[in-house]
Structure 1
Amino acid sequence: MKIAVTGGNGLVGNALVKALRAKRFDVIECNRQNCDITKADQVKKSIKGANIVVHCAATLDEHAADLFDVNVKGTENVLEAASENGVKQFIFLSSVAVFGKTSGLKNEETKPNPETRYERSKWEAEQKVLSYQEIFPVTIFRPAIIIGKTDYWNKIVKLIRKDFPLIGDGSNHWQLVSLENVVNAILFSVNNENCFEETFMLCDDEAMTLKELAEFIRTESGMNRPLKTVPLFLGKIIAFVNSYLKIVPLLDSAYLKRMIRDRYYSNKKIKSLGFEFKVSTKESLRRLMN
């Protein structure tokens, strides 16, 4: 069986390619060097001969000029190439970002409510994927923020270790998902008819709050000073100003909106099929910091 993976340079795509090859699958790695997903001809050429397509490629940058070109039009190009190729399954890596500012426990039945540019791009991409489910079986995953060795996480850990104050009281959930659990969920779904025409939430079993997350990283880093906080209204002003001055990494108005989201999810659906989230959030965070 030949499996094409887009986003082979990315966090999930790179780990997935390695895992598939370890299981002796024939893998087509589509990455930035050999496949620009905004170019339909390149995509068709790259995935030729694939039986299954796993679409991981995306841009996360809220301010990227090509955000919708990559996340929406790019997804459409991959879908069209998969259709012409007669694939047997299309697996799409979406995001819990589609829920936007919806609070409370969210599952697959919760209505999406995207607000920021990135959130809207992932929701629109999902709609593109669903429009092809009459042509081939589709499986959609909505992972929480993925724990992995990325520039994003490096910046978060550095800010916490530099004693940067928490904006707001940190009582909002920040439920995460370990990279290994995401990769294993995708492997679980490959050619699994129980996963056809389904959407699954991917999140670790622990549901830490943002404050608990910050305190855990501080404790693991040997910091024993009390965690500082600033009121949310002041944080919004700081984020707005920093959008222009760019003194503090990550902190701008769009990111602050995502940071204060109530990230609380249910993973019961995929677990009901027998899948297990074997790696804990704390274990993944410890690996990240070491």
Structure 2
Amino acid sequence: MTANIIALIGASGFVGTRLIGSLGTEKCVNIDKTQSAVYGVLTTIQDIRNMRIPEALPDSATTVVLLAAEHRDDVSPVSLYYDVNVQGTKNVLDAMDKKGIKSIVFTSSVAVYGLNKDNPDEEHPADPFNHYGKSKWQAEEVLREWYQKDPENRSLSIIRPTVIFGEANRGNVYNLLRQIASGKFLMIGKGKNKKSMAYVGNVVAFIKYLIDNDRPGYRVFNYVDKPDFNMNELVSQVRGDLEQNGGLIRIPEVLGMLGGFGFDIVAKATGKKLPISSVRVKKFCATTQFSADKLDASGFQRPFTLEEGLERTLRYEFIENHDDKPVFFTE
């Protein structure tokens, strides 16, 4: 094992797989409860809910990147959010202390701010509206407490990304893009609500930037790729990239919510997870816009514009054929 290994925890998924590719296989290991479809040889199977994480951390690790999280909208029981996102973080920090590792990069979420806030920056009060956001905020508090025990030697970087999209992702943004690509997209509401987004290629580049420029201290950043589109602009951009013409069908937000509640009832009665729910309709119609001023002042240069990220994703998913490549299911 070479020196200065980066231990990625929860890197079998969408962001982690891209991050390993960016960092290089010779520089990192992956610790996850599921096998990596791409980097199996680097993966040690371990669940952060148990206390055996120290066994999986290599002695030569100098930095931990904690990506593991319980994040879907429909997790049951809700205690899983706290078992994984809070207690799991405590377990990782305990393992780091046992191994003498003093640097961690943690992926939190803009969900800590709640919905319909006015472009919150990193100093905005936390006001999470769901268990995912609440558990991520509690995990941040655990991390800050850990850092304060030895601030002169420890390094804590917290990233709060907005919704992340990109090639091979099967999350909410992909579902939206697929609906638009099908020509059967239905716009709920007036479409003037703005949506901050983050392209995965830029997110992993920023994580790498933090690792490469690591030093003792506490840092927290929203991750957003600007400029923010409103829903009308986003749909127009996607349809233009796909060379679609014609008008959009729109329905009032109240009808969309009623439809979402109907799907909730069906999901509960059948026990099936459906692509539409009241929570997803609420999120679709909400303004989710966040400040990137601190990120922009950090010295980090985004490799891609938001428009380029969308174009690359649309080309990969709906123009080219990548049926032989793995896909990653997220929210």
CA distance in 1, matches of 2:216, 2:259: 44
1:89 equivalent to 2:107? Answer no
**Is the 1:59–1:67 contact (alpha carbons within 8 Å) kept by the matching residues of 2?**
yes
- What amino acid is aligned across from residue 147 of structure 1 in structure 2? F
What's 2:138 paired with? 124
Matched residues, percent identical?
A: 28
What's 1:250 paired with? 275
Q: Which runs of 5+ in 1 are unaligned?
A: none
**Is the 1:58–1:70 contact (alpha carbons within 8 Å) kept by the matching residues of 2?**
yes
What's 1:71 paired with? 85
Aligned-pair distance for 1:9?
1.0
Q: Bigger shift: 144-153 or 250-259?
A: 250-259
**Is the 1:102–1:113 contact (alpha carbons within 8 Å) kept by the matching residues of 2?**
no
Distance 1:235 1:263, change over 3 A: same
- What amino acid is aligned across from residue 176 of structure 2 in structure 1? I
- What amino acid is aligned across from residue 57 of structure 2 in structure 1? I
CA distance in 1, matches of 2:96, 2:225: 31
What's 1:106 paired with? 120
Give deviations 1:194-252, integer Å, cap 9, x for gaps: 68301011111211112211222223223212122211111111111112335995321
Query: 1:1-290 residue pairs with structure 2 within 5 A?
Result: 1-21=4-24, 25=27, 27-31=28-32, 32-33=34-35, 34-41=45-52, 43-49=53-59, 50-65=61-76, 66-133=80-147, 134-135=149-150, 136-148=154-166, 149-152=168-171, 153-162=173-182, 163-190=184-211, 192-193=213-214, 196-246=217-267, 249-290=274-315
- What amino acid is aligned across from residue 103 of structure 1 in structure 2? K
> SS state of the match for residue 110, structure 1?
coil
CA distance in 2, matches of 1:256, 1:72: 28
CA distance in 1, matches of 2:198, 2:83: 27
Q: Which runs of 5+ in 2 are unaligned?
A: 36-44, 316-331
Distance 1:195 1:213, change over 3 A: farther
Q: Bigger shift: 272-281 or 186-195?
A: 186-195
Q: Bigger shift: 252-261 or 99-108?
A: 252-261
CA distance in 2, matches of 1:91, 1:67: 20
After TM superposition, the score normalised by the length of structure 1 is 0.91
Q: Bigger shift: 219-228 or 143-152?
A: 219-228
Aligned-pair distance for 1:88?
2.5
CA distance in 1, matches of 2:285, 2:216: 32
Q: Bigger shift: 32-41 or 248-257?
A: 248-257
CA distance in 2, matches of 1:213, 1:261: 14
> SS state of the match for residue 198, structure 2?
strand
**Is the 1:138–1:196 contact (alpha carbons within 8 Å) kept by the matching residues of 2?**
yes
Distance 1:86 1:258, change over 3 A: farther
CA RMSD of aligned residues (A): 2.1
**Is the 2:70–2:81 contact (alpha carbons within 8 Å) kept by the matching residues of 1?**
yes
CA distance in 2, matches of 1:262, 1:210: 9
CA distance in 2, matches of 1:210, 1:232: 13
Residues matched between the structures, number: 287
> SS state of the match for residue 194, structure 2?
coil
**Is the 2:93–2:146 contact (alpha carbons within 8 Å) kept by the matching residues of 1?**
yes
After TM superposition, the score normalised by the length of structure 2 is 0.81
- What amino acid is aligned across from residue 181 of structure 2 in structure 1? R
Instruction: Tell which structure's C-alpha radius of gyration is larger.
Output: 2
> SS state of the match for residue 125, structure 1?
helix
The structure carrying a bigger strand percent of its residues is 2
**Is the 1:102–1:262 contact (alpha carbons within 8 Å) kept by the matching residues of 2?**
yes
- What amino acid is aligned across from residue 178 of structure 2 in structure 1? K
Distance 1:195 1:269, change over 3 A: farther
Distance 1:194 1:87, change over 3 A: closer
